[in-house]
Amino acid sequence: MVTSLVSRSVLCGLTLLLWSGTARAQDGRDWLARVAEAVCPLETLSGFDAQTALPGTWMLREEAWPDPVAPRRVRVTLATPDAGELRLEQRVVNGRPFQFRMAWYAPGPEGPEPAMQAIADGSCIVQSARAIRAGEGAYRYLDQLDGDLATLRWTETLQAPWPEGRDPGGPRVAFVDSGLAYDLPLFRDQLARDEIGRPLGYDFWDLDPYPYDGDVARGAFFPIRHGTTVASVFVREAPGAAMIPYRYPRPDMARLGAALTEAHAAGARIVAMPLGSRRLEDWTRFLEVLEARDMLAIVSAGNDGVDIDARPIYPAALASEHVITVTSADGFGRLATGSNWGAAHVDLMLPAENLEITDFRGAKGVASGSSYAVPRLAALAARILAAEPGLSAAELRTRIFARAVPSPFERAGVLAVGWIADPLQD
């Protein structure tokens, strides 16, 4: 029995999805129709028995009650007879519904796969939708649709084949992030390649050979694109270095060990990692491999506006000579607003505010934060290593620290080492 507080308004949105005339949901439309017909007459889903109202093998798979933190959310997941899923979500503010989300997950070889999501307002009028579709070969796309679920607004790339290009031949740097839009012209000749010209890299999230930019932790239909903007700073400041992109393994962070092992085997001596978590156990295997392979990791302090000595974020707070933790400063050497600090665990500040970046679409923009201090320092490390390729990780770290000085404008107790006013000065 479904006993949630989801009102019939949620399912009226499903009816709109069905009646829009779109064929994009494919056979998922049939399930939406059957659910809408069965439950829309009800004032709430309380008392609704999916198996009785919808003959077959329908069942309630999951139910989430309202979250005490606004906006309140109520979720219901129904398993369809063909092993797909319908996921319904109602969002409430001040006791009134303001948004409904209805998603169809199609049957796949390893479980339900995201196919389409419609978003309706508090009056149950569909405003937009997103549909995931496969293209030729390795291509996958995310289509943004109008409220009619037929008019295409724009298309984003979710996955692409590797591009042709050349290996720049310089020091190899592993980038562990949300992935990379490696098909952009900006990166095609900046990728490390094997002996037959095939780019190196891997998606340790989806476990496939295409680490395309997209963190889907907040939902498959709303990927966060972080890796491309960060990497665009690196290739501008270290044009002779070769990148190896890895999409980080959010489903199982123990895979970080495998990522570093593969990066080392590919010749990477430097690891750039502008991400983190508060779970120390996520980073145990990462640190073991990093130290065993004599690699140097450059990691971000984070952007929570806190002292990470008191409130640790990892890997920034790892005590290791194989880790350099960086944060963002303005051009005068003052800690940037919102950037983390720590007299014990944050080694360096670099100017990383309002930097020019290129996003996953190839569009220019500006970005700020400790994430963007990482590629600046990684570029400096790559240039030092190009000049002195025999340096160990400890020696490379020493060379970098030798460039740091006390900031004339920052209070004591912020950094362990100092700030580098111009990381481009060789």
Give residue-wise pLDDT tens across range 369-413.
Answer: 999 999 999 999 999 999 999 999 999 999 999 999 999 898 888
What region, left, alpha or beta, does residue 251 occupy, with left being phi > 0 and alpha being psi -120 to 50 degrees?
alpha
Q: Tell me the pLDDT band of 261, cut-offs 50, 70 and 90.
A: very high
Identify the pLDDT of residue 98.
Answer: 78
What pLDDT is attached to residue 253?
94
- What is the percent of the chain where pLDDT is above 70? 83
- What's the rounded mean pLDDT across residues 87-97? 76
Lowest mean pLDDT among 24-38, 66-80, 114-128, 134-148: 24-38
Percent of the chain, pLDDT > 90?
Answer: 66
Question: Residue 36: pLDDT above 60?
Answer: no
Alpha carbon distance, N-terminus to C-terminus of the chain = 68
Residue 247 confidence (pLDDT): 98
Contact criterion met (CB below 8 Å) for 97 and 9: yes
155-180 mean pLDDT: 97
Mean pLDDT value across residues 34-44: 54
For the chain, residues classed under CATH 3.40.50.200 are 172-419
* pLDDT of res. 74: 74
What CATH fold (topology level) applies to the domain 172-419?
Answer: Rossmann fold (3.40.50)
pLDDT tens per residue across span 194-211:
999 999 999 999 999 999
Structure-model confidence comparison of residues 122 and 279, the more confident one: 279
Number of residues that this document lists for the chain: 426
